[in-house]
Copies of this chain bind each other. A is one copy, B any other.
Amino acid sequence: MAETLIKVIVAGARGRMGAEAVRAVSRAEDMELVACLDRNRAAGAHRPEDVGLAGPFFHSLEACLASVQADVLIDFTRASVARTLLPQAVAAGLRPVIGTTGLTVSELHDLDVQLRLQERLGLYAPNFAIGALLMMRMAEWAARHMDGVEIIEYHHAGKIDAPSGTAARTAQRIEQVREQMEPNGGARWQVPIHSVRLPGFVAHQEVIFGGGGERLTIRHDSMDRTSFMPGVLLAVRTVMKAGAGLIDGLEHVLW
Tell me the A residues contacting B by CB distance below 8 Å.
129-132, 134-135, 137-138, 141-142, 145-150, 152, 154, 157, 192, 194, 196-202, 208-227, 229-230, 254-255
Closest to A196 in B: B150
Closest to A146 in B: B131
Known: A131-B146, A141-B134, A225-B213. A196 touches B219 (CB 8 A): no
A221 to B201 Cα, complex, angstroms: 9
Smallest CB separation, A103 vs chain B (Å): 26
Cβ-defined contact, B194 with A196, below 8 A: yes
Smallest CB separation, A196 vs chain B (Å): 5
Cβ-defined contact, B229 with A201, below 8 A: no
Smallest CB separation, A142 vs chain B (Å): 6
Known: A152-B152, A152-B196, A198-B150. A220 touches B216 (CB 8 A): yes
Cβ-defined contact, B152 with A198, below 8 A: no
**Smallest CB-CB A-B distances: 10 pairs:** A198-B210, A200-B210, A213-B227, A214-B227, A194-B194, A200-B215, A213-B226, A217-B219, A131-B216, A215-B221
Cβ-defined contact, A199 with B210, below 8 A: yes
Cβ-defined contact, A223 with B200, below 8 A: yes
Q: Which of A137, A210, A224 lies at the interface centre, i.e. has the most chain B CB atoms within 10 A of its CB?
A: A210
The answer, among B137, B198, B215, for a CB contact under 8 Å with A220, is: B215
Closest to A214 in B: B227
10 contacts between A and B (CB under 8 A): A134-B216, A138-B141, A152-B152, A157-B210, A198-B208, A199-B211, A212-B227, A212-B229, A214-B222, A219-B219
Closest to A231 in B: B145
Please, which residues of chain B bring their CB within 8 A of the CB of A212? 199-200, 226-227, 229-230
